[in-house]
Structure formats: structure tokens, C-alpha cells
A and B are shown apart, each in its own frame.
Chain A
């Protein structure tokens, strides 16, 4: 089983739609969780951190379920500019802080 698993997609959704991505992780000791956005041929950029209590930033909502070992990202009212690959990132425990990326989920918002 991969350390971090994501559905690579692509998810093709119309403008204005709501879309959700899930990501599962295998290490129950994982410490921190993030969603990054990566545009084509660019470096990843932090979209939002994921907390046990949930995290909302405008149209974006991230949630963590430690019991089931998954995190989710919900995008409401999709915009064309949301088209990108969304990477699930999990960091390890302890001082090593190993960072593991999911393969990314590609989102294409269609006019």
C-alpha cells in the first residue's frame, strides 16, 4: 500500500460545481497534513493546512479523519482558475519530518 494515495483523476467539472477530493495515508503516526496546488510545470504551492477540527478558507474546506486515516478537500463554486493538480501532503512524526506527497488529483474546470 502506498504511503499516501490519491485518485489521479482527471475530474472534469463545470464552472460553479462543487467537487471533493479524498486522500488516504497509511502511517497512523503521521503528524501534519496539507493540500498543495501545482499548476502545470510549476512548483507546488501551499493551499491550506488540514486540522482535526477542519479548516475553511473561502470556497475551500479541508478536513482530517484520523480514525479512518484520510483527509479531504472540498471546493465550492468552482472557478476556471481552480484548474490544477491538487497534492495531498503528509509529514512524519518526530524530528525527521519526512514529507510524502500523493500523486495528485487533476482538476479541470470547464466553462
Chain B
């Protein structure tokens, strides 16, 4: 199947700093990528849809100024958590789709101290 990578896999940062997470489709082009967040023992929650060459579409309750998304090319989308706080600690996963199937990155575990 198609491969989606994420970097970094794990990050620990101090409160108030910004963290950038990269999502890459390695063997296919993706005009659309999705960003999810998963808190412990909860389901994956869609945060935003990243659209290549245009603005991201954010789900209700997700602050666009806090979670900056840039989809600069057909193989790369980045999510920047600005001024991170402990409540932003979570598992962030991206996905990209081909023919209705979603392929997921391995996820990034963010811990904000």
C-alpha cells in the first residue's frame, strides 16, 4: 500500500513553544491530507483538512490560529502547534487518500511540559 511518513515521531517541549509536525506522502501525490488528534482512550478526531495550494478547512472547535497548516506541495503538509500548552499533549496523526482509502502516518506523540 501507499506510504505516509510523519516527523518527528515523538516530541517533548516546554509550554509556550511552537512545534512543527511534517506529513509526507512518499509514493503518491495527495492534494488533500487530513490531520487528526487522539487523546488517551478516545477516538481519532479530525482537526482539519489540508488542501494543497489553498487554505486548510478546520473542524468546529479547532483554532486555526493555534494549529497552523501549510500544504505547500503535493507530498507535504505541515501542522504547527503554536504556543503549545500541556492540554495540547496528544497523539497527532495525518492521513492521505487514494481511491477512497486512507493511509495513515505513524503518528507524532506530543508532550508539552
Contact = CB atoms under 8 A, between A and B. Distances in A.
B43 A45 contact: no
A1 interface: no
A31 B97 CA distance: 14
B107 A32 contact: no
B102 A89 contact: yes
Contact of A43 (B32, B93, B97): B93
Interface in B72-113: 91, 93, 95, 97, 100-107, 109
Interface of B: 1, 32, 34, 36, 42-46, 49, 91, 93, 95, 97, 100-107, 109
B66 to A, nearest CB: 21
Q: Closest 7 A-B residue pairs measured CB to CB? A: A103-B43, A43-B104, A101-B44, A32-B100, A43-B107, A43-B106, A101-B43
Contacts of A91: 100
A45 B105 CA distance: 10
Contacts, number: 48
Given A98-B46, A102-B43, A44 B104 contact: yes
Interface residues of A, number: 22
Nearest to A4: B43
Contact of A99 (B91, B95, B105, B109): B95
Contacts of B43: 87, 101-104
A52 B98 CA distance: 20
A43 B6 CA distance: 11
A17 B106 CA distance: 31
Interface in A59-111: 87, 89, 91, 96-104
